[in-house]
Structure 1
Amino acid sequence: MADSTHIPQAPPAVAGLVRRLLRRKMAVFGLVIIVVVVGSAMLAPWIVRYSPDEQLFEGLTLQGAPMPPNAQFLMGTDLLGRDLFSRMLYGARTSLIIGVVANGAALMIGTLVGLTAGFLRGWVGAILMRFTDLMMAFPALLLAICLAAIFQPSLWIVAMVIALVNWVQTARVVYTETTSLAEREFIAAERTLGASQSRILFRHILPHLVPTLIVWGTLGISVTVLLEATLSFLGVGMQPPTPSWGNIIFENQTYFQAAPWLVFIPGAAILLLALAFNLVGDALREVLDPTQRGRD
């Protein structure tokens, strides 16, 4: 008789991967940082005391300069008397949304281009990969600046711009993997048995790409967060008063010597978040690598 109190558990393979991931201290460190940043961003309205755009007279010294960190303003205030802690938490929302959306869009575009080129090959694959090579020839930052300058910067425009310059690396990786898989014996056997192109593509090739896409997607978020911060710092990303970690540095760079916390705090946040996603991505690459199984 089946036990009615049985609680469904994760599949053994998934549970094993999670255990192996959690054995890596640096991966756990990265996960903790990501959870803290995401949780703080989601709970920002209930955590902060002041609106991120509220200019507080009490947030300035008698000389009108930004106030350093204290009991009332945990991270100090900026040159307009706004609470930096509030702007950091709301800025985390902006940076994370752009990072996830832009990276997701770049991953989909790159996967579509690389999968199509690697599976069909011939003239279709040649055209797609030559176009990919052409896009790779342009410096990503310069191309992003040009595109951002053409369009009116907003959250979704910035995400679109970053996606349009970041898909090429994914396309190259997916193309290489797909080309290799298409030449395997089990794919040849499927073709011999009369399997359709769509069945081979979606039932046999695409599932084998999932581990690579998971790793590449995790690592890619750190790249998009850094690129968004760079664009905002250069003034072609998110525009004030909407806070993002990049434009917080841009707005306060002139006060670097007088109020260094205005630059160091958002700079450290960008560095830590990028590092966290890189640590988790590297750990996932090791965990999902078949050659590493049995070594943990």
Structure 2
Amino acid sequence: MDTATVSTTSASALARKRRADAFRANWRAFAKQPGGIIGLIVLIIVLGLAACAPLIADVSVLDPTNAQGRPFESPSSTFPLGTDYLGRSVLPLLIWGARTSLTVGIAATLMSMIIGTLMGLLAGTLHGWRSAIVMRVIDFFLIIPGLVLAIVLGAVLGSSTFTIVVAIGVTSWAGTARMIRAQTLSLENRGYVERARALGASQTHITWRHILPGVMPLVLANTSLAVGVAIISEATLAFLGINGGGISWGTMLQQAMGSGAAVAGFWWLIVSPGAAILIVVLSFTLVSRALETVVNPTLGGR
């Protein structure tokens, strides 16, 4: 083995060790945030229930023709969370609804983060009229009412899970783009970026090798918070009648309100999905705050 190969192997091993050390250090910082740990545990439990929904309750329980109880039965030992207006048990509906709500929330957030990160990098690294055009596009999506645009997209594209994901993802990236742009402009003036530019590195190389890794921790911290916002958006759209046709926490609320559960006092039909949304969104918020502390250690004392 020649000297060049040995040097390359040593450099790769050193890089892996540094990444492992950084991961352990970040995990220790995260573990010092009790709220973040609690939120993470709750999310793992909810994700596990959603992933194992077919094992916990067969999909046939969602079929109204297979309803095992009477409509609007209150919580009991047979139906821990009661039944809905069709006589279906609310508990399996809640578990299956988690699959749709979490899928839409995570997929829409990934779309939003990808679009927002790319647009933010473009706005921060381009100059002159090109940067102005990108900023005007960002400002347009920033000032337009996101919910109204999502409703319009849902009405135009038709009701489906893909439509909901696109509607939320396309309307929620502008804030991320603004944040990434500000961070990019800050990184552009760092010493290591100036050295890379002085050595002849192209703007593309600098963006992908130096600036993008610098903004990724901020993107990660913002992603966990954005998932909660996307879940609320999905529930709002489903409540307004724009849904993918499957069961979700939003459609459960929409069906409960449509069947007069709130007026008749069938509280379990509203409290169950509402509490699920509250708990999951709160958990994502706690994890996001903990990640923000890891990214910015100066927040640790707040």
Compute the TM-score of the two structures, normalised by the length of structure 1. Answer: 0.90
1:247 and 2:251 correspond? yes
The answer for the alignment partner of 2:273 in structure 1 is 266
Aligned equivalent of 1:192: 198
1:77: which partner in 2? Answer: 83
Alignment partner of 1:26 is 2:35: yes
State the AA in 1 paired with 2:280: L
CA RMSD of aligned residues (A): 1.9
Give 1:292 shift: 5.5
Query: CA 1:57 to 1:219, structure 2 compared with 1: closer, same or farther past 3 Å?
Result: closer
1:33-44 correspondence runs (5 A): 33-44=42-53
SS where residue 172 of structure 2 aligns? helix
Quick one: distance in 2 between partners of 1:12 and 1:173?
28
Q: Give the distance between the partners of 1:24 and 1:127, measured in 2 at CA.
A: 41
- 1:121 aligns with 127
State the percentage of identical aligned residues.
37
2:55 paired residue number: 46
Counterpart of 1:279 (choices 275, 282, 286) is 286
Q: Is the 8 A contact 1:30 1:276 kept in 2?
A: yes
Q: Secondary structure at the match of 2:42?
A: helix
Q: Distance in 1 between matches of 2:137 and 2:295?
A: 31
Letter matched to residue 34 of structure 1? L
> Which residue identity does 1:69 align to in structure 2?
P
Matches within 5 A, 1:150-161: 150-161=156-167
- In 2, distance between residues paired with 1:68 and 1:32? 30
CA contact (8 A) 1:68 1:77 kept: yes
Displacement after TM superposition at 1:215 (Å): 0.4
Give the aligned partner of residue 4 of structure 1: none
Structure 1 portions without partners, runs of 5+:
1-7
What aligned pairs does 1:205-224 form with structure 2 within 5 A after superposition? 205-224=211-230
**Separation in structure 1 between the aligned mates of residue 106 and residue 67 of structure 2, nearest angstrom:** 36
Question: CA, structure 1 residues 185+23, in 2 after alignment: closer, same or farther (shift >3 Å)?
Answer: closer
**How far did 1:238 drift?**
3.0
Instruction: Answer whether contact 2:67 2:89 (CA < 8 A) is retained.
Output: no
Q: Of 56, 59, 65, which aligns to 2:69?
A: 59
State the AA in 2 paired with 1:46.
Answer: L
CA 1:292/1:249 → structure 2, altered by over 3 Å: closer, same or farther?
A: closer
Cα deviations by residue, 1:35-83 (Å, 9 ceiling, x for unpaired): 11100001111112662224445410xxxx4111112222111001112
| Gap regions ≥5 residues in structure 2 | 1-15
CA contact (8 A) 2:68 2:88 kept: no
Letter of the 1:14 counterpart: F
Query: Judging changes above 3 Å, is the alpha-carbon distance between structure 1 residues 275 and 267 closer, same or farther for their aligned structure 2 residues?
Result: same
Choose between structure 1 and 2: higher helix proportion. Answer: 2
The 8 Å contact of residues 52 and 84 in structure 1, kept in 2 or not, is answered as: no
Would you say how many aligned residue pairs link Structure 1 and Structure 2?
282
Q: Which residue of structure 1 aligns with residue 207 of structure 2?
A: 201
- CA distance in 1 between counterparts of 2:55 and 2:265 reads 31
Contact map agreement 1:34 1:273 (CA 8 A) in 2: yes
Taking the aligned partners of 1:112 and 1:78, their CA distance within structure 2 comes to 44
Deviation of 1:138 (Å): 1.0
| Amino acid corresponding to residue 272 of structure 1 in structure 2 | I
